[in-house]
Amino acid sequence: MKFFLDTANIEDVKELLPTGWVDGITTNPSLIAASGRRFLDVIAEMCDLVDGPVSAEVAATDYKTMLAEGRHLAKIAENVAVKVPLTLDGLKACYALTQEGTMVNVTLCFSAAQALLAAKAGATFISPFVGRLDDIGHDGMTLIQEICQIYAQYPFDTEVLAASIRHPLHVTQAAQSGADIATIPPKVIYQLLQHPLTDKGVEIFTKDWKKTGQSIL
């Protein structure tokens, strides 16, 4: 499963790139607002840093303006994936942009039926929001499973991107459910790494090594 880093903070990207974990980036208006930076500058800088897709979301809600914004964003770099909402106008824009060779990430997906429509519109990525479904008492991971099951039966090229990831269990469950990608906040990336037994083991081995009085270098 690929990992996309869910952030608008350039320093997060620079810190995690050397791990080999960052296969792409997703952003959204809320993350951009929190960064306090100019949206187009952030996207351009991320596209220079990362070889994989960088999702940049349109601000408009009508088809004509979404299409214009999407075309403008696509000119920033070849690895821009234009992000559009799962609405009628959003899917029209998705179809038009994919016909032009632009990657499109269809976001705010909350049902398998919506995911089916997005795939038929040519979406490169579909982003089901796991955490937000959990918040209202639904099982978000069931949606990932349903979408993966449907996509497996037809020749869709759309990749399932598990979004709204809230904790490490979401990541492992998304992988078990067949998601192609998980977009993960930096905080959760670091939580994936942590385990008290690992820390304890390092502590013991380090203490025992010091007792030997040896040096490898």
User: Taking the domains of the chain in order of start, what are their residue ranges?
Assistant: 2-212
Question: What is the pLDDT at residue 3?
Answer: 98
> Tens-of-pLDDT digits for all 217 residues of the chain?
999 999 999 999 999 999 999 999 999 888 999 899 999 999 999 999 999 999 999 999 999 999 999 999 999 999 999 999 999 999 999 999 999 999 999 999 999 999 999 999 999 999 999 999 999 999 999 999 999 999 999 999 999 999 999 999 999 999 999 999 999 999 999 999 999 999 999 999 999 999 999 999 9
Count other C-beta atoms under 10 Å from residue 143's C-beta. Answer: 23
Q: DSSP readout, 35-58?
A: HTS-HHHHHHHHHHH-SS-EEEE-
Question: What is the pLDDT at residue 210?
Answer: 95
Question: What is the pLDDT at residue 138?
Answer: 95
Q: Please tell me which residue in 64, 83, 120, 210 is annotated as part of the active site.
A: 83
- Confirm whether 83 is a catalytic residue: yes
Q: Where are the beta strands (DSSP E) in the chain?
A: 2-6, 24-26, 54-57, 80-85, 103-109, 125-128, 159-162, 181-184
* Pick among 3.50.50.60, 3.50.30.40, 3.20.20.70, 2.40.128.260: CATH of 2-212: 3.20.20.70
Task: Report the distance separating Cα 7 and Cα 48, nearest Å.
Answer: 15
Query: pLDDT by residue (tens digit) across 66-76?
Result: 999 999 999 99
Torsion sign (Cα): 96, 98, 101, 104: positive
Q: Are 24 and 52 in contact (CB under 8 A)?
A: yes
Question: What is the pLDDT at residue 93?
Answer: 98
Q: Residue 81 CA to chain centroid, in angstroms?
A: 11
Burial (CB count <10 Å: 0-12, 13-18, 19+), residue 180: middle
The pTM (predicted TM-score) of the whole model is 0.94
